[in-house]
Structure 1
Amino acid sequence: MTSLVNLEKVSFQYKNDLQVLNNINFKIEQEEFVSILGPSGCGKSTLLNLIAGFIPYYTGSIKIEDKQVKMPSEDRGFVFQDLALFPWLSVYKNVEFGLKMQGDSKTSRDQKVRGMVELVGLTKYLDYPISSLSGGMKQRVALARTLVTEPNILLLDEPFSALDAQTRDVLQEELFSLHNNLNMTTILVTHSIDEAVFLSDTIVLLSKNGQVKDIIDIELESPRDRTSSNYNAYVKRLYEFLQNERQQ
């Protein structure tokens, strides 16, 4: 069976000859949740941008459904770390934006926007300007705006890093539910060990020299219990990996 996403011998260096990624090889299956974890500067976000098609020049092969990635596509939805929302527009208008760019009819847009906003729990805030919302609510809007266009793959670049711990935990649970309910394939870049273990089917570990150090399958039942011994065994293993990378 062909994997949905297939990376083979992917390397990348900037024009100043700074090598960021070295010989990256891994596959992602349909509906899998994969996190990319590693020390700062290891190329996690660069790798996500390559998969998104934002960076067209690299060596090796990145294929989605056997098609080489050369540019962004509607089959990939991206949630940026800084969210990139329009603060002067309402929740409704922000979520609607991508659908307007795709040329959806007004009736279709309205149905999809209201359905997605309800799914992320913001129905009563439809007409609120983004500038009036909390950080967690803005994150829900960013997710809704991306998901309403029905991408096959959701790409997330540290979306919860700026939030307080309690809000982050709640949104992780909501993302876990959205991933399962919408049958998405999700690729998450994160610095958080707990976040990676809580959300992922698979974790790709990048070393500080931009290579795949290990690929770990997370074999935990859902819903996941952050206090269980099995859960914390994964946390310990990943903590030791990051600690070793920092010491090298």
Structure 2
Amino acid sequence: MSALVQLENVAFNYTPDSPILNNINFEIENNTFVTILGPSGCGKSTLLNLIAGFIPTSNGSIKVDEKHVKAPSEERGFVFQDLALFPWLSVYKNVEFGLKMQNIPKEKRDQKVKEMIELVGLSSYSNFPISSLSGGMKQRVALARTLATEPNILLLDEPFSALDAQTRDVLQEELLALHQKLSMTTMLVTHSIDEAIYLSDTIILLSKNGTIKEIVQIDIDKPRDRTSSSYNDYQKKLYEFLRNERQQS
């Protein structure tokens, strides 16, 4: 069976003299959690945007579910770093938005929205305006809105970066539980070594020059003990990678 996501010789540059990504090759299997980790400016978010179809490749091909990525699609759900919620609308209306754009019938739409809001633990807040919610609750709404359209893959661009450490840990646990419950292929961009190890089956290490340095498999059972020696070994390895990248910049 083919991998869900396939990148072959992918490159991207804004101008011929400004290469961002080069010779990117990897595959993502169904139901796995993959993280892109690397120093600032290495092209992590650009790579995620290429897979989402927001921008075209300069070279190479990207396939999702054996179809070439040419444009954005509801099959590729995207959670933005700034969440892109509508603060004047309620939780319900925000989660409903994507389904309305797809012209889903109202009865089916209502059922799906309620299901997704319950899934992220916000049933009591369905009619609350987004502007009244905490950062963690807003993040749950963004996840519910994206999941409501039933994408084949969930793409997350540093979704927890603006949150405090405690909220971030809670949402990491909730995201992991959702990933396992829905058996959804998930791809995350992060600067956090700990976040990458805690969540991922596979970590793609992206170098400052926009190439893949290494693809690391995390062989620790989930949920993971952050205090274990094996967890610490991965932390050391990834810290060393980022430290070397900083020294070369």
Q: 1:183 maps to which residue?
A: 183
Which residue identity does 1:100 align to in structure 2?
A: K
For the pair 1:165 / 2:165, whether they are aligned, the reply is yes
The within-5 A match list for 1:109-188 is 109-188=109-188
Instruction: Give the fraction of aligned pairs with identical amino acids, expressed as a percent.
Output: 75
CA contact (8 A) 2:201 2:217 kept: yes
User: SS at the partner of 1:161?
Assistant: coil
- 1:25 matched residue in structure 2: 25
* Residue 72 (structure 2) pairs with residue 72 (structure 1): yes
State the TM-score, normalizing by the size of structure 2.
Answer: 0.98
> What are the superposed Cα offsets for residues 89-141 of structure 1, whole Å, 9 maximum, x if unpaired?
00000000001111111111111111111110101000000000000000000
3-state SS in 1 of match to 2:97: helix
Q: Provide the rounded CA distance (Å) in 1 between the counterparts of 2:227 and 2:114.
A: 36
Cα displacement (A) at 1:16: 6.5
Please tell me whether the aligned partners of residues 11 and 57 of structure 2 are also in contact (alpha carbons under 8 angstroms): no
Point out where structure 1 has 5 or more consecutive residues left out of the alignment.
none
- CA–CA separation in structure 2 for the residues paired with 1:57 and 1:42: 16
CA distance in 1, matches of 2:210, 2:56: 18
Opposite residue 145 of structure 2, the aligned amino acid is R
Q: Aligned to 1:225, what secondary structure does the other structure show?
A: coil
79 and 64 in structure 1: CA distance in 2 versus 1, 3 angstrom threshold? same
Aligned-partner Cα distance in 1 for 2:23–2:201: 23
How far residue 205 of structure 1 moved from its aligned partner, in angstroms, is: 0.2
Structure 2 counterpart SS, 1:187: strand
Structure 2 Cα separation of the partners of residues 241 and 78 of structure 1:
28
Amino acid at match of 1:138: K
Q: Name the stretch that deviates more: 74-83 or 1-10.
A: 1-10
Q: Is the 8 A contact 2:10 2:57 kept in 1?
A: no
* CA offsets 1:13-65 (integer angstroms, 9 cap, x no match): 00363110010011000111000000000000000000000002420111112
Q: Which residue of 2 aligns with 1:34?
A: 34
Q: Secondary structure at the match of 1:117?
A: helix
